[in-house]
């Protein structure tokens, strides 16, 4: 009964989505408020039914009802409860159900909290959400139905892919989906604006919180995924330029550009058409990611099951939505009222520069991801575009962007003073130069660019701090005054400072990890000692242990430094009988932001184990950076202050700042 | 019935969600507008001036800019009618009342299985289900083998069970282990080949064929392997070769061989149909029993038939310890504990004179979870 009720709830959600996608549009056409309002209640009800459906699937997993094909194929009765629940989205069908649940959640949120929207805009936005939802409900029901049954249920399930039996599965996909799907709202707003044929500064204000929410979750989701890959896959790598990772990076880059261009639109009523295009592109890239991952075009950890019919279906959805929205854009964009012009040296100008670099970076990633696929389709040649390509193209685009980041917030709207901004950044520049000099003196050899890159990161962080110091008048006015001003500062200012500092922090981590990472690879027997980066790791013992649904080989290491015993590390290798596969569980020892990392390889016939030991200096900064960025996003989200561009008169009193 | 009642309730809730906003003709009170945003912005400027965040000149400039937008927004404020037409609302309501249930039912019926209840594992474990002791036994044997992976007899017991459960890949592994630890034999090779074929969905793959060929090389009279080699030939489109293999089998077979009808049917298929259809192979009994879509009654009848044939064979020749074990296990699977007990007694009697066999039997029974 649970299974069938969940199935029927999903079908009802489809029916409601179909009504939601048609009736409100007719309502706007015929200017009928009652019909427009249908969008709201259907969106809420649709969310309720998808939630019922999702909860039903979770319950089926928890009770191990193997009469459901999806549960049988991806669960096992002896799996711990947490993995039974996370296993719901650890497979294609379940993850698509999570996808639509989040889509419906966002639709429901717009319906519930969209009181500040004009009726017709809300009707359009929810109708567009309804189209997207209908397409994906059909996709799920027709090609990837999680509620299909087996008449004579097997006794035991086939278990979840062992790599996915990890706490990471509880966090990474939901976060990432909240990000991907969150951009559907800005997409719907953009299409709604095109349908209405009217767009202005208020639009940007309305869409901003949704974009920000999506961006925050996408940032966290990508960071979490990267950390997960780092500790679970056993190679100590945190970014592989794998097409699937690129698929999540592209919407992030476009979304970041969108956030910045929406600010210009909100404050200066400019860049309107471009912002609309970015909204469409961001969600299109999210959809493209879904297509690449699910169609079987790529093979990776994320390609749970590949099925050509699914690929064709998603491709169809992709063509309809991207093609449709872009043609609509082509038809209507020229009819939209253009915004004002502005000077190149100004806050707007800096934001446009940001947009140029971010979209160019996004385009590079897109090319690097799609070119090998296209080549394979056309000529059959398999080439792999990996780190070298991206380092050579993505790096040079990001460097000038990073140099420009500190200048942006210091420039005023309309008319900026580049020289003045540079003067105010002197302190940050000096800090950066000091960092470079110290690193050069300290580290001999190694990559000559590394100290420069770290100097750049210090400059970015210093720039963010300078911005805050300038606005609060720290060091110029008495501390209490500065503190009062700091409290009164718009949260968005704090938010952008944190986010920009986060970029710098992540950059430091990336440079340190790639440059001064040391490794030891060899085979060890009990009582062997490995020396790495001043640490001594002694393999004490190798033991076997039985887990709930796996057996495990544990290696015990004692870590000591200068003869002093510091800690123990126990990496292990798990063997999952139900899937006849194994995973490596790396052991991590954190010291500040640096980590020691041990993962086990194969056991040789004579009892020696292949061991990989890495010392990764400052590696945790790579993930603290995005967390800072996301925190900045949250601060900015909590800001309800004015967002209007006020021209800064040339002789404005120092200390009085442009309104945010 | 409850299920349909729940469905009806859910449908009513969905319809209600569409009808709810249609009950009122007027415009809702809570509607935002651009003008509201700009007024809000003007108010915030005053607050910022008060808290000293913005200079008075800048504030003035900002006010002018916002006021300009505010005026523009007022101008374009739509002159929508405040009331909605009754005709439109009625047709929308009709759509919800008729369209929604039709869409829902028309989508659900081809996809759903409303007649199937839930099968949560806990409930199945409690139920006096024939599968219950069987499931426990499999788990026990698996656990035992996890600890003692070199126990060849254990693999011997487990492999056919896994094959029957439809876990063919694991059955293949179990048969391989059985060969490694028990030594090679034509029966084990052909069982392995059968599991390989079953894992490939009934197609005798090259890998499976190799196993059958090995089995036949060891024992030219190996029935199962010969049959499957014929099947392989049939699937490759060499019907005449298949027919000759099967004909040779029938010629050599004793008249009461239990597999006679199967081979005769296969022969008829090759000889009867002018173009043999590959991809429609006849599986062995075990594999067929595992077929998902088989009706419960048919399946249990087939299993019963198999078990009876096994019992008759053992009555004639009681030396086959493995056969006895299989028989006992089969009775237990069918939930027939009394028959299992009596078969056990028969088995003990049959091998009582042979120390080695008796020990083997007791070991096997222990593995099955019965006292030795």
Q: In this structure, what CATH number is given to the domain that contains residue B264?
A: 1.25.40.10
Q: Which two tokens stand for residue A328?
A: 């609509």
Q: Are residues B188 and B277 in the same domain?
A: yes
Contact A151 B52 (CB under 8 A): no
Closest CA–CA distance from residue B16 to any residue of chain A (Å): 9
Asked if residue B254 is part of any domain, the answer here is: yes
Nearest-CB residue to A19 (from B95, B117, B121): B95
Q: Does B146 touch chain A (CB under 8 A)?
A: yes
Q: What local confidence, expressed as pLDDT, does residue B370 receive?
A: 62
Q: Is residue B53 part of a domain?
A: no
Complex confidence, ipTM = 0.84
Report the gap between the CA of A430 and the closest CA in chain B (Å). Answer: 29
Q: Is A650 part of the contact surface with chain B (CB cutoff 8 Å)?
A: no
| Model pLDDT, residue B274 | 34
pLDDT (tens digit per residue) in B146-155:
777 778 888 8
For residues A470-487, average pLDDT = 83
Range among A23-32, B23-32, B83-92 rated most confident: A23-32
CA distance A611 to A571: 10
Looking at the fold, whether B193 and B263 belong to one and the same domain comes out as yes
Q: Which residues of A touch B120 (CB under 8 A)?
A: 63-65
Domain boundary among B256, B281, B306: B281
Instruction: Determine the 3-state secondary structure of A161 from DSSP.
Output: coil
Q: Tell me which DSSP letter residue A653 carries.
A: P
Within 8 A of A657 by CB-CB distance, chain B residues are: 53-54
Across the interface, do B100 and A35 touch by the CB < 8 Å criterion?
A: no
List Cα–Cα distances, B26 to A38, A196, A231, B86, B175, in angstroms.
13, 22, 59, 11, 75
Please report which confidence band the pLDDT of residue A623 belongs to, taking 50, 70 and 90 as the band edges: very high
- Within this chain, do residues B322 and B261 fall inside the same structural domain, yes or no? no
Among the ranges given (A84-93, A319-328, A331-340), the one the predictor scored with the smallest mean pLDDT: A331-340
Nearest chain A residue to B292 by CA distance is A152
Give A455's contacts (C-beta < 8 A, 6+ positions apart). Answer: A432, A433, A435, A436, A439
Asked whether residue B28 is domain-assigned, the answer is no
Contact A49/B at CB under 8 A: yes
Which residues on chain A are in Cβ contact (under 8 Å) with B6? Answer: 1, 5, 8
Q: Indicate the residue among B281, B315, B343 that finishes a domain.
A: B281
Using CA atoms, how far apart are residues A474 and A466, in angstroms rounded to an integer?
Answer: 9
DSSP conformational letter for A346: S
Q: B271 with B306, same domain?
A: no
CA B355/CA B362 separation, integer angstroms: 11
Among candidate residues A624, A599, A625, the one with its CA nearest the CA of residue A612: A599
- What count of other Cβ atoms lies within 10 Å of the Cβ of residue A655? 15
Name the band, by pLDDT with cuts 50, 70 and 90, for residue A655: very low
- Residue A210, C-beta contacts closer than 8 angstroms, at least 6 positions apart: A106, A110, A182, A185, A186, A189
Q: Which helix (H) or strand (E) holds A537?
A: strand A535-546
B2 in A contact zone (CB under 8 Å): yes
Please identify among residues 545-564 of chain A the ones whose CB lies closer than 8 Å to any CB of chain B.
Answer: 546, 551
pLDDT tens track for A77-89? 888 889 999 989 9
Number of domains, chain B: 2
Query: Both B241 and B310 in a single domain?
Result: no
Q: Tell me how many degrees the CA angle B293-B296-B301 measures, rounded to the nearest 5.
A: 120
User: In sequence order, which residues have a C-beta less than 8 Å from that of residue B272 and are 6 or more positions away?
Assistant: none
Distance in angstroms (rounded) separating the CA atoms of residues B35 and B58: 22
The token duo for A221 is 């989701």
Domain assignment of residue B68, yes or no: no
Q: Which chain B residue is nearest to residue A36, measuring alpha carbons?
A: B21
Does B358 share its domain with B314?
Answer: yes
- Residue that the structure tokens 């028989």 belong to: B327
Residue B152 covered by a domain: no
- Alpha-carbon distance of A283 to A265, in angstroms, equals 19
Helix, strand or coil, per DSSP, at residue A381: coil
Q: What is the mean pLDDT of residues A254-272?
A: 88
Q: How far apart are CA B62 and CA B79, in angstroms?
A: 29
pLDDT of residue B51: 60
Work out the average pLDDT over A464-468: 90
Domain residue limits at B348: 295-367
For residue B165, what are the β-bridge partners? Answer: none
- B255 & B198 share domain: yes
Structural domain includes residue B151: no
pLDDT > 70 fraction of chain A, expressed in percent and rounded: 93
Q: What is the pLDDT of residue A340?
A: 66
Quote the tokens at residue A460. 């970015």
Residues B319, B267 within the same domain: no
Tell me the C-alpha distance between A257 and B199, whole Å: 51
Residue B14, pLDDT score: 94
As a whole number, the mean pLDDT across chain A is 86
Mutation for B interface: A3, A5, A38, A471, most B CBs within 10 A: A38
* Domain of residue B299, CATH code: 1.25.40
Q: Are A369 and A398 in contact (CB under 8 A)?
A: no
Residue-wise pLDDT tens digits, A187-241: 999 999 999 887 888 888 889 889 999 999 999 999 999 998 888 877 778 888 8
Contacts of residue A575 in chain B, CB cutoff 8 Å? Answer: none
The answer to whether A266 and A200 are in contact (CB under 8 A) is: no
Domain extent listing, chain A? 1-165, 167-383, 405-510+623-637, 518-616
CB within 8 Å: B62 and A23: no
Residues A130, B17: Cα–Cα separation, whole Å:
15
Residue B27 forms part of a structural domain: no
What is residue A383's predicted lDDT score, i.e. its pLDDT?
76
Among B281, B309, B336, give the residue marking a domain's end. B281
Q: Is the pLDDT of residue A142 over 70?
A: yes
- Taking the Cβ of residue B99 and every Cβ of chain A, the question of whether any pair is shorter than 8 Å is answered with yes
Q: How would you label A15-24 residue by residue, b for 16+ Cβ within 10 Å and e otherwise? A: bbbbbbbbbb
Give the helix ranges, DSSP H, for A233-271: 243-268
Interatomic CA distance for residues B150 and B178, integer angstroms: 9
Please say whether the beta carbons of B305 and B326 come within 8 A: no
Question: Which residues 156-215 in chain A show a CB within 8 A of chain B?
Answer: 156, 198, 200-202, 205-206
Name the residue in chain A with its Cα closest to that of B299.
Answer: A152
Distance of residue A201 Cα from the nearest chain B Cα, in angstroms: 8
Structure tokens at B160: 């056919």
């Amino acid at each position: 009964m649970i299974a069938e009720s969940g199935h029927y709830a999903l079908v009802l959600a489809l029916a409601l989505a179909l009504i939601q996608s048609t009736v409100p549009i007719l309502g706007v056409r015929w200017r009928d408020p009652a019909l427009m309002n249908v969008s709201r209640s259907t969106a809420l009800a649709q969310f309720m039914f998808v939630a019922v459906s999702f909860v039903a699937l979770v319950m089926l997993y928890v009770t191990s009802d193997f009469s459901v094909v999806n549960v049988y194929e991806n669960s096992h009765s002896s799996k711990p409860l947490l993995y039974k629940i996370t296993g719901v989205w650890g497979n294609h069908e379940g993850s698509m159900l999570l996808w639509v649940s989040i889509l419906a959640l966002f639709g429901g949120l717009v319906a519930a909290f969209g009181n500040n929207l004009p009726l017709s805009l809300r009707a359009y936005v929810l109708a567009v959400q309804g189209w997207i939802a209908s397409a994906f409900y059909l996709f799920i029901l027709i090609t990837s139905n999680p509620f299909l049954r087996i008449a004579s249920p097997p006794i035991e399930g086939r278990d979840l892919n062992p790599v996915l039996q990890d706490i990471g599965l509880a966090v990474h996909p939901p976060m990432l989906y909240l990000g991907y799907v969150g951009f559907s709202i800005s997409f719907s707003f953009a299409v709604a604006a095109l349908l209405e044929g009217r767009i202005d500064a208020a639009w940007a204000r309305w869409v901003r919180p949704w974009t920000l929410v999506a961006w925050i979750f996408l940032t966290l989701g990508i960071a979490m995924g990267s950390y997960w890959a780092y500790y679970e896959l056993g190679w100590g790598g945190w970014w592989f330029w794998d097409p699937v990772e690129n698929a999540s990076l592209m919407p992030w880059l476009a979304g970041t550009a969108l956030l910045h261009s929406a600010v210009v639109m909100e404050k200066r009523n400019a860049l309107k058409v471009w912002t609309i295009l970015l909204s469409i592109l961001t969600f299109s890239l999210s959809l493209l990611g879904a297509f690449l991952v699910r169609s079987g075009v790529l093979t990776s950890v994320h390609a749970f099951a590949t099925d050509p019919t699914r690929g064709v279906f998603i491709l169809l959805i992709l063509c309809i939505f991207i093609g449709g929205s872009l043609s609509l854009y082509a038809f209507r964009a020229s009819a939209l009222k253009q915004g004002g012009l502005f000077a190149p040296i100004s806050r707007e100008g800096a934001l446009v520069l940001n947009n140029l670099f971010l979209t160019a970076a996004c385009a590079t990633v897109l090319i690097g991801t799609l070119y090998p696929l296209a080549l394979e389709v056309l000529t059959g040649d398999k080439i792999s575009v990996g780190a070298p390509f991206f380092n050579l193209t993505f790096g040079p685009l990001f460097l000038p962007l990073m140099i420009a980041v500190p200048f942006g917030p210091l420039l005023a709207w309309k008319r900026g003073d580049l020289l003045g901004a540079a003067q105010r950044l002197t302190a940050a520049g000096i800090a950066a130069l000091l960092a470079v000099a110290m690193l050069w003196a300290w580290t001999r050899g190694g990559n000559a660019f590394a100290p420069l890159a770290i100097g750049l990161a210090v400059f970015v962080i210093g720039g963010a701090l300078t911005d805050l110091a300038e606005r609060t008048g720290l060091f110029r006015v008495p501390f209490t005054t500065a503190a009062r001003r700091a409290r009164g500062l718009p949260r968005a200012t704090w938010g952008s400072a944190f986010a920009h500092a986060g970029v710098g922090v992540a950059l430091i981590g990336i440079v340190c990890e790639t440059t001064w990472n040391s490794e030891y690879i060899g085979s060890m027997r009990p009582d062997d000692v490995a020396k790495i980066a001043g640490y001594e790791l002694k393999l004490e013992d190798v033991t076997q242990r039985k887990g709930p649904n796996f057996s495990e080989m544990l290696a015990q290491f004692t870590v000591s430094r200068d003869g002093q015993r510091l800690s123990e590390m126990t990496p292990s290798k798990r063997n999952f009988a139900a899937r006849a596969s194994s995973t490596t569980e790396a052991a991590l020892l954190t010291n500040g932001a640096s980590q020691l990392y041990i993962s086990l390889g194969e056991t040789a016939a004579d009892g020696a184990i292949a061991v990989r030991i890495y010392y990764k200096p400052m590696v945790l900064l790579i993930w603290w950076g995005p967390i800072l960025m996301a925190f900045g996003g949250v601060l900015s989200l909590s800001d309800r202050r004015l967002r209007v561009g006020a021209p800064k008169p040339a002789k404005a009193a120092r200390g009085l700042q442009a309104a945010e | 019935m409850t299920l349909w009642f729940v469905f009806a309730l859910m449908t009513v809730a969905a319809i209600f969600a569409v009808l709810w906003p249609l009950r009122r003709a007027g415009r809702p009170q809570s509607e935002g507008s651009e003008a509201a945003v700009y007024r809000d912005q003007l108010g915030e400027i005053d607050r910022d001036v008060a808290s000293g965040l913005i200079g008075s000149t800048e504030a003035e400039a900002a006010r002018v800019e916002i006021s300009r937008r505010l005026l523009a927004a007022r101008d374009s404020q739509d002159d929508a009618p405040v009331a909605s037409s009754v005709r439109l609302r009625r047709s929308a309501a009709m759509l919800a009342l008729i369209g929604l249930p039709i869409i829902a039912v028309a989508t659900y019926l081809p996809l759903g299985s409303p007649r199937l209840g839930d099968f949560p594992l806990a409930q199945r474990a409690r139920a006096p289900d024939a599968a219950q002791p069987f499931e426990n036994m499999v788990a026990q044997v698996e656990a035992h083998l996890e600890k003692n992976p070199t126990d060849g007899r254990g693999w011997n017991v487990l492999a056919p069970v896994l094959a029957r459960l439809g876990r063919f890949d694991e059955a293949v592994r179990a048969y391989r282990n059985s060969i490694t630890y028990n030594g090679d034999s034509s029966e084990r090779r052909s069982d392995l080949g059968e599991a390989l074929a079953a894992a490939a969905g009934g197609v005798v793959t090259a890998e499976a064929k190799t196993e059958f060929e090995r089995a036949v090389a060891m024992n030219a009279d190996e029935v199962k392997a010969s049959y499957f080699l014929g099947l392989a030939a049939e699937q490759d489109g060499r019907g005449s070769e298949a027919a000759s293999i099967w004909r040779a089998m029938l010629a050599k077979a004793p008249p009461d061989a239990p597999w006679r009808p199967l081979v005769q049917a296969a022969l008829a298929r090759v000889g009867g149909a002018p173009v043999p259809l590959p991809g429609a192979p006849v599986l062995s009994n075990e594999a067929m029993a595992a077929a998902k879509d088989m009706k419960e009654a048919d399946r249990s009848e087939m299993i019963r038939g198999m078990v009876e044939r096994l019992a008759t064979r053992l009555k004639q020749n009681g030396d086959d310890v493995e056969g006895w074990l299989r028989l006992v296990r089969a009775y237990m699977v069918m939930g027939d504990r009394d028959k299992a007990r009596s078969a056990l007694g028969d088995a003990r009697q049959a091998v009582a004179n042979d120390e080695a066999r008796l020990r083997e039997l007791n070991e096997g029974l222990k593995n099955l979870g019965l006292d030795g």
